[in-house]
Amino acid sequence: MAVGTGNITLEDVTTEIYGDTNAGRSLATCFASSSAGSFNPTYVGSKDRLSNFKGYVHVDDGIWGVDEFSSIDTLNQLC
């Protein structure tokens, strides 16, 4: 699935990247967890605004980003 190219929301982006709409995520977190080659060249820009995610298709690059480390920390606190 991909983020649309019309009007998009942060929830559209988080669903594409993380598979959910966790309200605690920010645009900066989404950029930190994004895959560089997954941006649509028409919209990529400077990667500083929501519209840069238009047409984005997330491909897990195997590199752990901010959100993955937050998830591990949360799991560690449960143990």
What is residue 3's predicted lDDT score, i.e. its pLDDT?
96
pTM for this model (two decimals): 0.74
SS3 50: helix
- Sequence-ordered alpha helix ranges (H) in 1-79: 10-18, 27-33, 66-78
Mean pLDDT value of segment 7-33: 92
Which residues, at least 6 apart from 25, have a Cβ–Cβ distance to it below 8 Å?
A: 10, 14, 18, 67
Q: What is the pLDDT of residues 26-75, one digit of tens each?
A: 999 999 989 888 999 999 999 999 999 999 999 876 665 555 544 444 44
